[in-house]
Each structure stands twice: as C-alpha cells, then as structure tokens.
C-alpha cells in the first residue's frame, strides 16, 4: 500500500532528525500534545524527566500523553514518580485519578481528584486536568451526563481560581458541548480566544459544535480559521475530515466529493503528526466511522505486522472482516482481541461484532450469547435485539425470538413495522407448532397485539390481517362450537388483497383459498347457511383447487373438486 510506504519513510525521517533538535521545554511539549504529536511530546518529556528529575510536572505531562493514548498503566507509573518527587503534586494526583477513571475504578478516581483539588491552591491546572479526565469517555461527541456535569463543576471552580486560563475555558466549552449546551460552550470558546487569539484549539472546538449541528459550511470556516492561525495544526484537518464524512452521510449529493475531501484532509492530518502507531490507529477509527472497511482491513493488517503493534488492530480486523464478509479472518481477529486485550478495554460493540461473526460462521448459540453479552454490558444496546431474534427464529426458538423482538419494538431506536410483524409471527409459530403450552392464551394475545399494531399503522397491507386471522383462529378450539374470532380478519384480508388489483401470485391464491375456507366453515357450522358455504368453497376452489378442505367438501357433495352439484 503506497500510503504505508510513505508512512514508513516519514517515520524514518523523523527518527533521523533526532530529539536534540526539538526544544526541550514543558511549553513545547504541551504544544506537541495539543497538536497530537504524541511521540514527539514523549521524546521531549522523557528527556526532561532525566535532565530535570526533580520537576514533578515533567512526569505528569509524560503520564498525560499515555492517558490520551489509552495506556493507563504507563500513565500511572509516571504519575507515581511525580508524586515521589513532590508528595503534594496536585497535577499528578489529577493524573492518578484519570488513570483510575480509564480503568473504570470510579472510587479511586474520585479520591485522587479530590486530593488534586485540595492541593491545587491558586493553580488552575489541576482543575483543568480533573475536568479533562471526566471527558475521557467521549463517544461521537457525547459524554454520560453525570461525567459531563462533574467536569463542568470542577472546571467552573478552576475558572474562578483563574478567570484568565484560556485552556480552562476551552475545556469548559467542551464539557458543555457534550450536553448540547452549545450557546454556553460558544461563549467560553469566544472568551478563550479573547484571552489568546492564537488559540487554534478554540477555533477547532467551535467548528465541532457546528459539525454536530450539521451546519457544515460554518464548521469548515472555523477549521480554516484555525489553520490560518497555525497552518500545521493537525487536529483541524482531523476534525475537518470527520466533518466531511458526516456531511457525506447527511447529503447524498455531496457524498462522493466529501468522502474524497475527507480522505485528503485525514492524510494531511497524518502528515502533520508523528505517524506513530497511535496516530494510525486514530486513522483506523476514521475509516471505521467513514465505513471504508476495505481500506480499514488493509491498514489494520499493516499495523498488525508492525514491531510495536497494538492489540487494538485486532478489533479493526474483526469489524472489517465482518463487513467485508471475510468471516473466518474476522472471527479469528475478534477472538484474539476479546481473549488477549485487557478486559477494561472491551466495549459492548466488540461483543456485537463477535456475535455477528459467530452467527455468520453458523455458530448460532455462541452468537446469541455474545449479542446478549453486549446487552448485559450496556443495556442501551437494544438495537442488537433483532439480530438475536433472527438467530433464535432460525433455531426455531420462537418464544424467545418473539420476546427479543418485543424488547426491540418497545425500546429500539429505529423500529420498523416489520419488527412488530415478526414479533407476532414468532409468537404465532410458538403456539401453532406446540400442542401443549400451559399459557398458550398469553402468547396468542401477544401475537394478536403485535399484528393489531401493524394493521393500525398499515391498514391497506393484507399480510398482518392474514396472520391476525390465523392467530385468532387458534382461539376456536371446538369446530362444532365455533365463535368466529378470525372471521373479521379473514374478511379484511380478502378485501385488502382484492383492492390491490392485478393477478395474484400462486402464494396469494393459496392464502385467499385459506380465507374463503374459513368463511365457508363458519357458514357451515355456525350460521348453518349452505348457500353461503357453497359460495365460499367455490371461491376457495377458484383460487386453489388442490386445497384439502376444498377437495373434501366437494367430495362430500359428490362432484369432486372440479364441479359442484
């Protein structure tokens, strides 16, 4: 792959430049961190921890780079070194809290955050990084409300400590933005720019607000403004690329142009970073977001062979394997990721893809278990219920399939009428294929309710009427004492089918025959109306002369199925 070759060359060039060229100061290291040049920042900071081993902030910022790269253990090691140098290092306690937060150890995180704030005094930076830590669980621009509110609270205190800390204002804007408090967020970004007009980060953050509001032109203008401040500010190109993809997904007319522009902008971002494994992993995230699974698989395969590889590449190989229908490779990769990665790094979507790959590999029981695991880990993953239901339906576990569809129809985000329909079909099959069910009436009621919903929403569609009729027919257990529960629904099926016009298919003809046979049976045994019985059996015969009940009826009449006497 040409891109990988270029990456290798640039990495080599960076290596040859040597760390001695870079200015060895905290200010320059922080600038590199902000520009997402993490390898460069680490090189500087490792050098500073050697040349200035008594400065606790050197260890903090080195640890913070590891936090941003999601290596909490390495981060924790450096924060502890910072505390060893200065037991009252508020920054490093904030760092320990962040590491615990990444490890999902909320109690330890809170203890360390409180200690950081207690030691901060008039220094606003510990407040900044406690606030930033609470925002680490950002998923597509959203953070759990409790975490965002905690960030807002501590950053507001930091703002009080130092109203002129522009970084605090940007972080506060970020926290507010995750809760869609965009007006307040914009106010903080503007205040930050008034303090520091060259703060490219604030311009980019403003652009992100417009991105999530789907105001793409305004978003692009902010990214261009950030690049006018600093033409080499990589995060502006990254956010611009992600905005391009969101634009492409929102506007089909712009899709082709914006996907191409997005790829170009991301390549610019990569060229401005240090092209570390972590930067390329972020590129993989972009490809995943863009839905470019073929390129994702190629890039992940290249990353998997890198000497300093990261297990996370197996997640991408698993996802791409499924989407590219390379199921054996995908399943092997996902099993590697699930079994070897730190359990804290496993996310619900990993179990979703593992389940999908298992189902695609005919490992149905394992697949259903994995999809259920995704829901156990995160109850909001309701959109996997149709996949669970479909697998259970294929295994003829109809009651469980119906229950899965029911949960989805009640709680899902993108529920279709077809989901309600299959809910009803699943319950219907459960009762109709099992003679001895102690609570059959309850399942009949569930099926009837599902089909009733479909007929209300799509009153001209015959299919739900047919199945509602079949379900209600199950209530008439004694043909000699027929009530006729199914009668109005078979009549509605006939009405809506005939209203469609045209020549019915062979399948529809058989279904029409079924409906007329039921009406004939009702007329014969309930209404005692022989003329109506003959009329309905005749209509049934016109649609399907091979119907067994039709054949039996006309045989009783002595004329066979072909002629009545």
Q: Tell me how far the alpha carbon of residue 268 is from its chain's centroid.
A: 27
pLDDT tier at 249, thresholds 50, 70, 90: confident
Cβ atoms of 303 and 280 within 8 Å: the answer is yes
Q: Give me the CATH topology for the region 22-120.
A: 1.25.40
Beta-strand ranges (E) seen in 88-136 are none
Report the share of the chain in percent with pLDDT over 70.
Answer: 94
- Would you say residue 282 has pLDDT above 90? no
The pLDDT value recorded for residue 368 is 93
Helix (H) or strand (E) holding 384: none
* Cα(397)–Cα(391) distance, integer angstroms: 9
Cβ atoms of 451 and 467 within 8 Å: the answer is yes
Instruction: Give the three-class secondary structure for 439.
Output: coil
Q: What number is the average pLDDT over the span 267-275?
A: 88
Name the token pair of 177. 């933005």
Give the pLDDT confidence of 79-120 residue by residue, as tens digits.
Answer: 999 999 999 999 999 999 999 999 999 999 999 999 999 999
* Cα(393)–Cα(495) distance, integer angstroms: 30
Cβ atoms of 346 and 370 within 8 Å: the answer is no
Q: What number is the average pLDDT over the span 386-399?
A: 92
Instruction: Give the three-class secondary structure for 138.
Output: coil
Residues 6+ positions from 490 with CB-CB distance below 8 Å: 465, 466, 469, 514, 515, 518, 519
Task: Domain ranges for the chain, please list them.
Answer: 22-120, 459-565
pLDDT tier at 13, thresholds 50, 70, 90: very low
pLDDT tier at 564, thresholds 50, 70, 90: very low
What is the residue-averaged pLDDT of the chain? 90
Give the pLDDT confidence of 473-494 residue by residue, as tens digits.
Answer: 998 877 667 899 999 999 999 9
- Would you say residue 35 has pLDDT above 50? yes
DSSP string, 476-518: ---GGG---TTHHHHHHHHHHHHHT-SPPPHHHHHHHHHHHHH
**β partners of residue 142:** 139
Q: Do domains 22-120 and 459-565 have the same CATH topology?
A: yes
* Cα(180)–Cα(262) distance, integer angstroms: 25
Determine if the pTM surpasses 0.85. no
pLDDT tier at 16, thresholds 50, 70, 90: very low
**β partners of residue 139:** 142
Q: What number is the average pLDDT over the span 518-542?
A: 94
pLDDT tier at 24, thresholds 50, 70, 90: low
pLDDT tier at 559, thresholds 50, 70, 90: low
- Would you say residue 194 has pLDDT above 50? yes
Pick the CATH number of 459-565 from 1.10.10, 1.25.40, 1.10.8, 3.40.50: 1.25.40
- Would you say residue 9 has pLDDT above 70? no
CB atoms near residue 104 (< 10 Å): 11
pLDDT tier at 471, thresholds 50, 70, 90: very high
Helices 293-304 and 2-17, packing angle to 10 deg: 40
Distance, first Cα to last Cα, the chain: 80
Cβ atoms of 356 and 331 within 8 Å: the answer is no
Backbone angles phi, psi at 142, to 5 degrees: -120, 145
For CA atoms 493, 495, 496, 501, give the dihedral sign. positive
pLDDT tier at 308, thresholds 50, 70, 90: low
Burial track 31-65 (b if 16+ CB lie within 10 A, e otherwise): bbbbbbbbbbbbbbbbbbbeeeeebbbbbbbbbbb
pLDDT tier at 12, thresholds 50, 70, 90: very low
Give the pLDDT confidence of 140-149 residue by residue, as tens digits.
Answer: 778 899 999 9
- Would you say residue 3 has pLDDT above 70? no
CB atoms near residue 525 (< 10 Å): 16
The pLDDT value recorded for residue 128 is 98
| Long-range CB contacts (within 8 A, 24+) of 497-503 | 497/462, 499/460, 500/462
3-state helix, strand, coil in the chain (%, to 5): 75, 0, 25
Q: What CA–CA distances, in Å, run from 175 to 8, 189, 221?
A: 37, 11, 22
């Amino acid at each position: 792959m040409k891109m990988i070759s270029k990456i290798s060359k640039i990495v080599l060039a960076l290596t040859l430049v040597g760390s001695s060229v870079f200015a060895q100061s905290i200010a320059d290291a922080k600038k590199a961190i902000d520009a997402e040049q993490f390898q460069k920042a680490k090189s500087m900071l490792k050098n500073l921890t050697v040349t200035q081993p008594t400065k606790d902030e050197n260890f903090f910022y080195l640890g913070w780079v590891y936090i941003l790269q999601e290596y909490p253990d390495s981060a924790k090691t450096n924060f502890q070194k910072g505390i060893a140098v200065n037991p009252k290092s508020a920054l490093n306690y904030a760092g320990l809290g962040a590491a615990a937060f990444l490890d999902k150890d909320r109690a330890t995180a809170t203890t360390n955050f409180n200690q950081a704030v207690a030691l901060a005094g008039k220094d606003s930076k510990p407040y900044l990084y406690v606030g930033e830590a609470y925002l680490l669980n950002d998923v597509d621009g959203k953070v759990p409300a409790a975490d965002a509110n905690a960030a807002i609270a501590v950053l507001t205190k930091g703002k009080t400590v130092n109203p002129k800390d522009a970084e605090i204002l940007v972080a506060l804007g970020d926290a507010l933005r995750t809760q869609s408090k965009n007006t307040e967020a914009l106010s903080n970004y503007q205040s930050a720019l008034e303090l520091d007009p060259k703060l490219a980060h604030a311009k980019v953050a403003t652009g992100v607000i417009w991105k999530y509001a789907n105001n793409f032109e305004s978003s692009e203008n902010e990214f261009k403004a950030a690049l006018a401040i600093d033409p080499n500010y990589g995060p502006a190109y990254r956010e611009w690329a992600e905005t391009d993809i969101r634009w492409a997904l929102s506007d089909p007319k712009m899709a082709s142009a914006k996907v191409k522009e997005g790829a170009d902008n991301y390549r610019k971002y990569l060229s401005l970073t240090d092209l570390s494994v972590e930067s390329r992993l972020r590129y993989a995230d972009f490809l995943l977001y863009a839905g470019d699974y073929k390129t994702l698989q190629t890039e992940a395969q290249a990353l998997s062979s890198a000497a300093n590889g990261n297990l996370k590449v197996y997640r991408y190989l698993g996802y791409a394997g499924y989407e590219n229908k390379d199921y054996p490779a995908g399943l092997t990769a996902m099993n590697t990721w699930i079994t070897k990665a730190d359990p804290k790094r496993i996310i619900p979507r990993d179990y979703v893809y593992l389940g999908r790959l298992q189902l695609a590999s005919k490992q149905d029981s394992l697949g259903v278990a994995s999809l259920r695991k995704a829901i156990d880990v995160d109850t909001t993953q309701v959109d996997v219920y149709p996949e669970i239901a479909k697998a259970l339906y294929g295994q003829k576990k109809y009651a469980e399939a119906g229950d899965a569809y029911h949960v989805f129809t009640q709680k899902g985000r993108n529920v279709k009428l077809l989901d309600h329909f299959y809910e009803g079909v699943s319950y219907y099959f459960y009762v109709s294929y099992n003679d001895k069910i102690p609570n059959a009436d309850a399942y009949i009621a569930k099926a009837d309710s599902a089909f009733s919903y479909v007929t209300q929403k799509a009153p001209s569609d015959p299919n739900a009427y047919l199945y509602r009729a079949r379900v209600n027919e199950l209530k008439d257990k004694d043909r000699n004492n027929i009530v006729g529960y199914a009668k109005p629904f078979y009549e509605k099926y006939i009405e809506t089918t005939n209203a469609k016009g045209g020549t019915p298919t062979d399948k529809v003809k058989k279904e029409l025959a079924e409906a007329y046979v039921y009406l004939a049976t009702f007329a014969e045994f309930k209404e005692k109306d022989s003329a109506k019985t003959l009329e309905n059996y005749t209509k049934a015969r016109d649609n399907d002369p091979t119907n067994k009940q039709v054949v039996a009826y006309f045989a009783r009449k002595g004329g066979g199925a072909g002629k009545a006497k």
